[in-house]
Amino acid sequence: MQALARGDRAAVLTVTRVITAFLIRARAYDLRDSWDDLCQEVLLVLVNSARNGSLRAPEAFVGYVGCITRNKLSDWLSRNPRGRDIAEARLADPVSMLRDADLLLDVERALGELSERERKVVETIYLGGYSYDEAAERLDMPLGTLKRLQTGALRSIRRRLLICPRASVG
């Protein structure tokens, strides 16, 4: 974060790769010609956040980048007519929607197979958007325990998604 705020070229390139990964995950392929603009917008927000100290938890940096990227992509789609057309076409594509629904069902099933403590940790960090310290305080558990439960939960989810691919969902 500090290197990014100083304008370190390697840090900028690394963060740009992370932003691009989020754009790929968002399946914004049709908007590739606008990725540079989107990356610059996200980078500006990140640099300003790093400079004014609003990035409190370094371990949550990648999640913060993802959140900013999603927001900037959503803003871009809403103010750009071509982007709206692409978004509407994507929503009208039933195959894409089914794939997303299947993935969501698989993730929900995997979450359902976690222990109560693991599920609460995952939901607090990823759905609640809390940093590790905030989640540990909220769940009244030591930080080390929270991280151990998170690691085990993510390993279980990953294993479940690899064992039961979406194609098996009937």
Domain-terminating residue out of 36, 68, 91: 91
Q: Note down the domain range covering 151.
A: 94-168
Q: Are residues 107 and 160 in the same domain?
A: yes
Distance in angstroms (rounded) separating the CA atoms of residues 84 and 38? 16
Residue 10 is which amino acid?
Answer: A
**Per-residue pLDDT at 96:** 52
| Helical axes 61-79 vs 9-25, angle rounded to 10° | 60
pLDDT tens per residue across all 170 residues of the chain = 677 777 778 888 888 888 887 777 776 766 677 778 888 888 888 888 877 777 666 677 777 888 888 888 878 777 776 655 655 555 445 455 445 556 667 777 888 889 999 999 988 887 777 888 999 999 999 999 999 999 999 888 888 877 654 443 33
The dihedral through the CA atoms of 132, 6, 42, 16 has a sign that is: negative
Domain count, the chain: 2
Q: Are residues 64 and 109 in the same domain?
A: no
Q: Are residues 54 and 124 in the same domain?
A: no
Q: Are residues 51 and 125 in the same domain?
A: no
**Per-residue pLDDT at 103:** 64
Q: Are residues 53 and 21 in the same domain?
A: yes
The CATH code of the domain that includes 139 is 1.10.10.10
Model confidence, pTM: 0.48
